[in-house]
């Protein structure tokens, strides 16, 4: 159940990242209403469903930290893949992972 919630969050984060960088990567420049009508429901469903599934298993604080960490790490991995590696991404991942570990204590 926890892994499914995290996979939903990763899927939604990937969609949001590609939507945000579609103009730079692919030259797609759609108005916001088109993005909302095509991807908005999918993204919101994934975000909300992952939150509710994970909050049933853990506390609200742990859920927030885990989902924020997974989303941020996904965004950093996509940025490294498409725009090249940068040391700031590793430092960011370290800070996120340390925040997740501190929240578990």
Q: Is the pLDDT of residue 105 over 70?
A: no
Across the chain, what does the average pLDDT equal? Answer: 87
Mean pLDDT calculated for residue range 35-61 = 91
H helix and E strand count, the chain: 6, 0
- Tell me the C-alpha distance between 85 and 105, whole Å: 31
pLDDT at site 29 = 87
**Cβ-based neighbours of 86, under 8 Å, separated by 6 or more:** 79, 80
Count the Cβ atoms, other than its own, within 10 Å of residue 81. 9
Q: How many domains does the chain have?
A: 1
pLDDT at site 8 = 94
Summarize pLDDT for 49-86 with one digit per residue, the tens.
Answer: 999 999 999 888 888 888 888 888 898 889 888 888 88
Q: Is the pLDDT of residue 12 over 90?
A: yes
Residue from 13, 8, 7 nearest 72 by CA: 13
- Residue 104 pLDDT level (bands cut at 50, 70, 90): low
């Amino acid at each position: 159940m926890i892994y499914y919630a995290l996979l939903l969050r990763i899927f939604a984060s990937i969609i949001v990242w590609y939507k945000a960088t579609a103009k730079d990567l692919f030259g797609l420049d759609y108005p916001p209403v088109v993005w909302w009508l095509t991807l908005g429901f999918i993204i919101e469903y994934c975000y909300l469903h992952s939150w509710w599934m994970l909050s049933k298993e853990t506390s609200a604080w742990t859920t927030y930290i885990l989902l924020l960490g997974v989303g941020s790490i996904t965004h950093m991995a996509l940025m490294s893949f498409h725009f090249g590696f940068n040391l700031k991404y590793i430092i960011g991942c370290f800070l996120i992972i340390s925040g997740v570990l501190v929240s578990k204590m």
